[in-house]
Structure formats: C-alpha cells, structure tokens
C-alpha cells in the first residue's frame, strides 16, 4: 500500500468514527418498557406516565419510555414483576413493595400489621437507615431504586357490613395480594382471605365471589370507583404501601452518567408529586373521605383504641414475621417509629 493511500484510509477511518459515535445516541433502544400494576388513572398510573414524559422531554425525545398499564407485561401475575426487571423484560417499574416482597422478603416491613400509625413514621423509616438498606438490598438483586412513591395506607372495604371490631371480620371473604403476610394477618383476624391478582380481583368483587378487599383510597379505591361494588370502608391504617420506581441495573448502566442523573431526577420529580397526591385529604380531619361518603360508602374511621385492639389480635403475626423480614431491620424501624 502506498503512503498516500494509507493516509487517505486513515483519514476516512477517523471521519467514520466521528460520525458513528455521536455520544451515546446510537445506543438508545427504540422503546424502554415500564411496568405498572394499575391502570393509567389516579396518582400511581399518572406518575408513571409523568416520569416517561419528563424523561422524553429532558432527553430531547431520545429516550422513549412506554408505560404498560394493568399488568400487561407480566400477564396478570403481579408477584413476578421484580423478576421481569431482573431479566430485562421490563426496563422500569413503578411498583408496590408488596409485589416485590416475594423476591425481597425484607420489604414486608411495610406490611407488618398495625405498625405505621402516621405518615411521619413511614417517612422516618423510608428516608432513614432502614430505607437505605432496603434499596441497597434491591440493588444487590439487580434493580436500582430511583425514587420512592406511594400507594398509601391500605384500608378495608367490603359489601356486607361495617367493620369496627375484629368480630365483624368473622368469615368475611377478603381478596388479598399474593404475599403470605396478608393471608396470616386476615386469618388472625378471623376473616377468610383469598389470594388473587388485582386484575381478577375486580371481576371477583363485581360478581360477589369475594366480599371485600384492601387498598389505598386515592391511588386505587377512587380511580377504580370501588363504591360501585363495596359499600363499607374501614379507615384502619393496618399496612402502608410505598412504591418504588425501579430500573433494571443493566438498563440503567446502558445510559451515560448524564442520562442516568437526568432519569433519577425525573423519577424523583414525578414520585415526589405523586406522594403528595396519594396523601391528599387523608391526614388531619380527613376531608378526602367526603368523596367516599358522597358516593354512598359508609365510612368507619378507627380510633387509636380500635387500632390497638386489632394490633393485639395480630401480634402473633407481627412476631412471626420479624425473623423473615430481618430482626435487625425491624428493630431499627421500631426505634424510628417510636421516636415520631
């Protein structure tokens, strides 16, 4: 090869490399998939879409996240969602900690019966050492937590009668999520819990094959208009359900450091707003409950004494689950809760 040809080839190679690697743009997928258990209405679903919109806007249209609502990505089996993220079937999920607790048992911390009495207690645990440990554990398992969101306090609804004391639950058929701590809790209260995915639960409630269910007011009961099939609600705050906006580790690592920071900020912006909406009208004198009454629900708001009665009834469940969750983690959380 003569020298001038070699020089020309080198020049062409340099030019080609400049064209072929314009930053990271060439590495973007056409679509990134985000999993959501619920539909697009309400704070939870809308926050997922908001996150996708923010990322699109802030990446100048280069990062396109599509929300797959109502469990489309995991064919209804919501306790598989964490696996989907690990396997890269989903790139992101705005997920309830309950649905991930089969793979990450320590997340059952939030489902310990009658543990969190206030939002301040939840925030202290989530933002303190226990919350950080939980996110580190998830990351070890292949999913990066970008931000906390919130489903909310899980309240009991049913079509049969007002529930104010444990005896009122006797024999009541209650749909619960496929996580064993919920079965244990409802059995301890004398109810008849039935494990079911959310998609099937809606049909079961309509057809009356189950009497009740438990879910948060703003994020689920209102957007799904559960008053159409459930006449009674007990505001008993028996479990709280934070959401985590998670990204598959490999998906996240495929972005530049700059994109990763932008994605994290978008997650925090969308979820910060979502937490506010999930709690709206549900603290203090509970103005948010007016909407339930207007739609014909009979609302029973538990006093501290009523909660204490239910807490005593479910204490054996609490005790059994300490070891499964991690004694150290529970002890740390208990300390933070006691301080609030």
List the one residue from 63, 93, 98, 333 that touches ligand X2X (CB under 6 A).
98
CA distance 243 to 228: 26
Residues facing residue 158 across a β-bridge: 212, 232
Is residue 30 within 8 A of residue 42, CB to CB? The reply is no
First CA to last CA distance, the chain: 79
Task: Choose the binding region for ligand X2X from 92-100, 103-111, 160-168, 264-272 (rule: CB under 6 A).
Answer: 92-100
Q: Where are the beta strands (DSSP E) in the chain?
A: 32-35, 65-68, 92-96, 143-158, 173-176, 192-195, 212-215, 232-248, 298-301
241 to 280: interface string for ligand X2X, x by CB under 6 A? ----------------------------------------
Q: Shortest approach of ligand X2X to residue 220 CB, angstroms?
A: 6
Q: Which of 221, 245, 204, 211 is nearest to 91 (CA)?
A: 245
Q: What is the maximal distance between C-alpha atoms in the chain?
A: 95
List the one residue from 74, 153, 198, 224 that touches ligand X2X (CB under 6 A).
198
Which residue, 103 or 215, has its beta carbon nearer to ligand X2X? 215
Task: Choose the binding region for ligand X2X from 11-19, 91-99, 124-132, 245-253 (rule: CB under 6 A).
Answer: 91-99
Q: Shortest approach of ligand X2X to residue 277 CB, angstroms?
A: 16
220 binds ligand X2X (CB under 6 A): yes
Find the angle CA(314)-CA(320)-CA(323) to the nearest 5 degrees: 140
- Helices 42-58/257-279 angle, 10° precision: 150
Task: Choose the binding region for ligand X2X from 54-62, 95-103, 244-252, 258-266 (rule: CB under 6 A).
Answer: 95-103
Which residue, 98 or 245, has its beta carbon nearer to ligand X2X? 98
118 to 157: interface string for ligand X2X, x by CB under 6 A? ---------------------------------x------
Which residue, 63 or 181, has its beta carbon nearer to ligand X2X? 181
54 to 83: interface string for ligand X2X, x by CB under 6 A? ------------------------x-----
CA distance 13 to 229: 68
Is residue 197 within 8 A of residue 71, CB to CB? The reply is yes
List the one residue from 185, 215, 218, 314 that touches ligand X2X (CB under 6 A).
215
Which residue, 99 or 108, has its beta carbon nearer to ligand X2X? 99
Residues between 274 and 333 that touch ligand X2X (CB under 6 A): none
CA distance 41 to 43: 7
The b/e string for 203-226 (b: 16+ C-beta within 10 A; e otherwise) is: ebbeeeebbbbbbbbbbbbbbbeb
* Residues in binding contact with ligand X2X, number by CB under 6 A: 11
- Residues making contact with ligand X2X (CB under 6 A): 37-38, 78, 96, 98-99, 151, 177, 198, 215, 220
């Amino acid at each position: 090869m003569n020298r001038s040809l070699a020089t020309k080839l080198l020049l062409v190679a340099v030019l080609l490399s400049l064209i072929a690697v314009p930053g990271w743009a060439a590495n973007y997928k056409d679509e990134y998939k985000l999993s959501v258990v619920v539909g697009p209405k309400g704070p939870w679903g809308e926050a997922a879409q908001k996150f996708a919109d923010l990322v699109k806007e802030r990446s100048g249209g280069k990062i396109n996240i599509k929300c797959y609502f109502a469990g489309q990505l995991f064919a209804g089996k919501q306790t598989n969602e964490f696996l989907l993220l690990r396997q890269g079937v989903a790139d992101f999920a705005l997920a309830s900690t309950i649905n991930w607790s089969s793979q990450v048992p320590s997340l059952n911390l939030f489902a310990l019966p009658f543990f969190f009495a206030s939002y301040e207690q939840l925030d202290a645990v989530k933002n303190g050492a226990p919350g950080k440990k939980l996110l580190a554990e998830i990351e070890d398992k292949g999913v990066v937590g970008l931000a906390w969101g919130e489903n909310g306090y899980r309240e009991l609804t049913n079509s049969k009668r007002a529930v104010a004391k444990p005896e009122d639950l006797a024999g009541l058929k209650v749909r619960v999520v496929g996580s064993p701590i919920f079965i244990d809790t409802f059995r301890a209260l004398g109810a008849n819990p039935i494990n079911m995915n959310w998609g099937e639960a809606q049909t079961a409630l309509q057809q009356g094959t189950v009497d009740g269910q438990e879910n948060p007011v703003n994020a689920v009961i209102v957007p799904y208009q559960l008053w159409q099939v459930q006449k009674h609600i007990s505001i008993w705050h028996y479990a709280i359900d934070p959401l985590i906006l998670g990204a598959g580790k490999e998906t996240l690592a495929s972005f530049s450091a700059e994109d990763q920071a932008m994605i994290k900020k978008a997650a925090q912006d969308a979820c910060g707003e979502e937490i506010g909406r999930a709690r709206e009208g549900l603290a203090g004198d509970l103005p948010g409950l007016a909407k339930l009454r207007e739609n014909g629900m009979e609302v029973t708001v538990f006093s501290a004494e009523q909660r204490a009665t239910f807490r005593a009834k479910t204490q054996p469940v609490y005790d059994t689950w300490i070891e499964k969750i991690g004694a150290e983690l529970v002890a740390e959380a208990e300390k933070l809760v006691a301080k609030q």
